[in-house]
Structure 1
Amino acid sequence: MRAIWTGSVSFGLVNVPVKLYGATESHDLEFHQVHADDGGRIKYQRTCEVCGKTVPYQDIDRAYDDGERTVILEQEDFDELPAAMKDEIEVVQFVPSGQVDPVMLEKPYFLEPTGKSPKSYLLLRETLEQTDLTAVVRFSLRQKTRLGVLRVRDKVLVLQGLLWADEVRDVDFPAVKSRAKVTAQELKMAAALVEQYADDFDPSQFTDDYQEELRKLVDAKLEHGDAVDTAETFGDAAVAEKGDEGEGAEVIDLMEVLKRSLARKRGTKDGDSAGEAAEDAAETSTGEDAGGSASKSRAKSSSTSRTKSASASSKTDATSGSTKSAKSTAKSSAKSSSAKSSTSKSSASKASTAKSSTAKRGTSRSTESKRRA
């Protein structure tokens, strides 16, 4: 590795001489542009729009246009800025590591100790490890004042740039203000699915599939030219899988998708057993609020099934009633005649009862008249 910056880290009166190295590198394949007809490389020339001449890089300066005026800045102007001349990484705060928002993190750099004795380097490293704190620093790199943090990784101090606060955008789009509600049952099912994926993080087990396929394609073209068989290069299964991308992307029933995902991760062929087990566990742990929606859905389902059952029953009764109508008619006639005779007897009995009641009322009235007299 080649050092890109040399300076020191300072906290208080302690000074730590260091060299700065880029901690990451790109593994992407690099391409250049060519003419499609003959393969000739495409070149870009810097030309002046005033004189039309090609301008070499060393004769190019930078300018700022505010809409009305233009000011030209030469390289000497940038070099004379006070912040650009600093060769020091200044520690300004020690903060809890959890307070550093990952969205602000930029490119990391390794810091190598320099000088005759690395004692001050070891002191800063051990201090950060024992206190479990992160050092917030200011530094200048490539003529830019930057904010950063110092961490420890594999016994090496790592400097990582931070975005300034005004460089991070505020989140303001419809998904944040959505009125969609997530039920406790869905959360329980999602937690079960997350548990199936839970593991210790090992970045070495992940690879860049796109770059690997791109490298395979380049190698195949180098060997066979333009006559490359895609199925032979990547395999029939890979080509078929690529053709099926995007299918089933629409989520219709979130609970059903969660159950299928959980069943697939658990390695079951039939998702019903795993899905039902997780769903039962979710229903058991769900409170009354979460259970209300499930109860309503069950009530609707039960009502629907009763309605269908009643409809089927009425159809069956109608069919059986038509076949038994002849027998029931005869019985009904007999019952009707006996009912008429009993009705007439009942009428006569009611008439005699009425007469008796009338006579009693008359007797009671005459008795009351005598008492008054």
Structure 2
Amino acid sequence: MNASPPRAVWTGVISFSLVNLPIRLYSATAEHAVRLREIHKADGGRIRHKRVCELDGEEIPYEDVGRGFELPGDGGMVQLTDADLDRLPLATRHQVQVHGFVPADDVDPISYSRAYYAGPAGEAAGRAYSLLVAALARAGVVAVCRVVIRTRERLAILRPRHGVLVLQTLLWPDEVRDPGNLAPSTPVTDREMALAELLMHELTGVEGDDLRDRSRDALEALVDAKIADRQIESPPQPQPLGDLLAALERSVRAARDAR
């Protein structure tokens, strides 16, 4: 992890009651996805995407690309400039507006979206910032708030993490899908429950190497095999569950043997 945060992506204040705490937001995560290029299957040439205007068919340079709002009905387009978007009539454009505090466990992790570190903007904000972090940690609560990031108002929470405030954007309630009837109605026995709890106890803790992304290693092994025109060994496939009780008993024995 970098010792200093990257460039701020948002500047404003945390506002609750009559307290306004100046902060800056920094991206808290950076995914390291392995990117594959689009190519022409026939000759392996890279595919390039062009920006083409659908009205005149001309290719448009990036600096001439704007943004527009499509009107319902006739599909007409209203062009919006950066200056227009800066005038969005939302109080939360430069304000993390706190609506209240709830126990941290009341927020379902399925709603979590993007995480940002919130740092104090200037030395004068340090005391109020430290107080808010400590108060949230001691009370075991999070602050439920709204904030506009990149022209869209988002639901969010403020939570403490290692002495730093994290602003975690959330999905709006209507963005979380109902699971429907996915849950089975099959009951479990006391013996199955006891073995499941015992297995979880035997598997308590996670090794550091289990938290490393192996996608690039696997992709490089596949590429090497293709270059060398050889078969790559596939990992073993999971076996059908079969007898649940027997599988649990074998799993507990295997977990104990591996310790």
Is the 1:93–1:136 contact (alpha carbons within 8 Å) kept by the matching residues of 2?
A: yes
Q: What's the CA shift string for 1:218-243, capped at 9, x where partnerless?
A: 6x48xxx8226555xxxxxxx2x52x
Question: Which is richer in helix?
Answer: 1
Indicate how the Cα distance of structure 1 residues 204 and 96 shifts in structure 2: closer, same or farther if over 3 A, else same: farther
Distance in structure 2 (CA, Å) of the matches to 1:71 and 1:27: 39
TM-score, normalization: structure 2?
A: 0.85
Q: Which of residues 174, 183, 187 is equivalent to 1:181?
A: 187
Counterpart for residue 67 of structure 2: 61
Distance 1:94 1:192 in 2: 37
Secondary structure of residue in 1 paired with 2:137: helix
State the match for 2:9 in structure 1: 4
Distance 1:215 1:9, change over 3 A: farther
Q: Tell me if the contact between 1:15 and 1:120 (Cα under 8 Å) persists in the aligned partners.
A: no
Partner in structure 2 of residue 352 of structure 1: none
State whether residues 84 and 144 of structure 1, in contact with CA within 8 Å, keep that contact through their aligned partners in structure 2: no
Against the structure 1 CA distance between its residues 61 and 31, is the aligned structure 2 distance closer, same or farther, given a 3 Å change threshold? same
Q: Which residue of 2 aligns with 1:91?
A: 98
The number of residues matched between the two structures is: 249
Answering whether residue 165 of structure 2 is matched by residue 151 of structure 1, we say no
Unaligned stretches of 5+ in structure 2?
Answer: 1-5
C-alpha deviation, 1:84, in angstroms: 7.7
Partner of 2:25: 20
SS in 2 for 1:267: helix
CA contact (8 A) 1:63 1:70 kept: no
If each structure's strand is expressed as a fraction of its own residues, which one has the higher value?
2
Q: Which amino acid aligns with 1:92?
A: H
Alignment partners' CA distance in 2, 1:257 and 1:116: 59
Task: Choose which of 105, 108, 114 in structure 2 pairs with 1:101.
Answer: 108
Instruction: Call closer, same or farther: CA 1:81–1:45 in 2, change over 3 Å.
Output: same
How far apart, CA to CA, are the structure 2 residues paired with 1:18 and 1:162? 19
* TM-fit CA distance, 1:160: 0.4
Partner of 1:245: 237
| CA distances 1:2-61 after superposition (whole Å, capped 9, x unpaired) | 211111112222221111110001122233223345443211112233322223343443
Higher RCO (C-alpha under 8 Å, 6+ residues apart): 2
Distance 1:162 1:39 in 2: 41
Question: For residues 104-132 of structure 1, what are the alpha-carbon distances to aligned partners after superposition, in whole Å with 9 as ceiling and x for unaligned?
Answer: 11111011112232112112112112222
Instruction: Supply the AA of the counterpart residue of 2:109.
Output: P
Report which of the two structures shows the higher radius of gyration computed on alpha carbons: 1
The answer (yes or no) to whether the contact 2:69–2:80 under 8 Å persists in 1 is: no
Q: SS state of the match for residue 90, structure 2?
A: helix
Identify the match of residue 134 of structure 1 among 142, 146, 155.
Answer: 142
